Structure 1
Amino acid sequence: MIIKKILGLVACSLFTMEMAQAVEVINENEVIYSDLDRTGWVVSASNSRDQNRAPEKAIDNNLGSRWASGILQEGGEWFMVDMRTPQSFNVIELNQGKSLMDYPRGYEVYISNDGKNWGEAIVTGKGTEGKETVITLPKVVESRYVKIVQTGIADGNWWSIHEFYLKMNK
């Protein structure tokens, strides 16, 4: 009960402030994770449906808006974040909001400090149908850029992200 009240207060505070603030989610004994502050981040994508579904909609603190690829998932679509400075994280959350079927059918995650040299994917997997796809990295990484490449095929579904979060498990 106390946890629900605390989480409710945190959510209300964020909504009221309408800003991307670092948030700590806690249980009764310890901090589980904290969201990285998204202020100043620059996002881009391989394509977008239109300005109402542009990449920046994925970091606007509004679950009612979204970035949408605008094309069927065929593999090769990407979503990239420039955090402006290197940040440490080990969890990526792709919040799919009401677009429950617009999850990535497959993904590869790349990191870079210059936005040009990406190296090998640090993790691969399949997205999750529903409200969110949570990608847990095998270790904490520090990087300025994160790129997620959608690798699957979905007849009849775009790839959408209502909110994109990077987190640090404690």
Structure 2
Amino acid sequence: MDHKNDKKRWSTNEGQKVGHWLSIELDKPKLVNGINMNHGRSKNDYAPKYKIETSLNGKDWQSVGEFKGTAKLSIARFKDTEAKFIRLSILEKKGGYWSIHELDITGKEKTQKTVSSL
């Protein structure tokens, strides 16, 4: 995360709901092991509890875990998993939107798909 563009963001544009989700497609299958979500200026627009799932085809999903969100920066770490698709879903809501200013996907490979300004 470079925190250079804190003015753009992805948002639900409505109050959080259990089941809201965000899906990311990587350019090819990669070995991934974490997600960093920067909530930037929207530091209170985080999901207090969310799950991460991965898929190789966008249809068959495997859970890699449930995680707690925090204000400003939510960090999730899980065991190395091969994925082409990653889905984040809200399990517990709080008031406000769900906003992400930057999202980094971590893994073993040097060429990572970094999504900013979703």
TMscore range, shorter length: 0.7 to 0.9
Which 5+ residue runs of structure 1 have no aligned equivalent? 1-10, 16-60
Whole-angstrom CA distance in 2 between matches of 1:168 and 1:86: 11
Comparing both chains, which one has the higher relative contact order based on Cα–Cα distances under 8 Å and sequence gaps of 6 or more? Answer: 2
What count of residue pairs does the alignment treat as equivalent?
108
Residues 68 and 161 of structure 1 are in contact (CA less than 8 Å); yes or no, is this contact kept in structure 2? yes
CA RMSD after TM alignment = 1.9
Q: Structure 2: how far apart are the matches of 1:147 and 1:166? A: 12
Which has the larger Rg?
1
SS of residue matched to 1:151: strand
Match of 1:135 in 2: 76
Q: TM-score, normalised by structure 1?
A: 0.59
Q: Deviations over 1:136-167 (max 9, x none)?
A: 11x11110000000111213x10000011101
Match of 1:74 in 2: 17
Structure 1 169/134 Cα, relative in aligned 2: closer, same or farther at 3 Å?
Answer: farther
Return structure 1 stretches of 4+ with deviation > 6 angstroms: none
Query: Is the 2:37–2:103 Cα contact (8 Å) retained in structure 1?
Result: yes
Structure with more helix by fraction: 1
Amino acid in the other structure paired with 1:123? G
1:162 counterpart residue number: 101
* TM-score, length-scaled by structure 2: 0.83
Structure (1 or 2) with the greater strand fraction:
2
- In the alignment, which of 85, 90, 103 is matched to residue 150 of structure 1? 90
Report percent identity of matched pairs: 28
Counterparts in 2 of 1:150 and 1:112: CA distance versus 1, 3 Å: same
Alpha carbons of structure 1 residues 169 and 96: separation in structure 2 relative to 1, 3 Å: farther
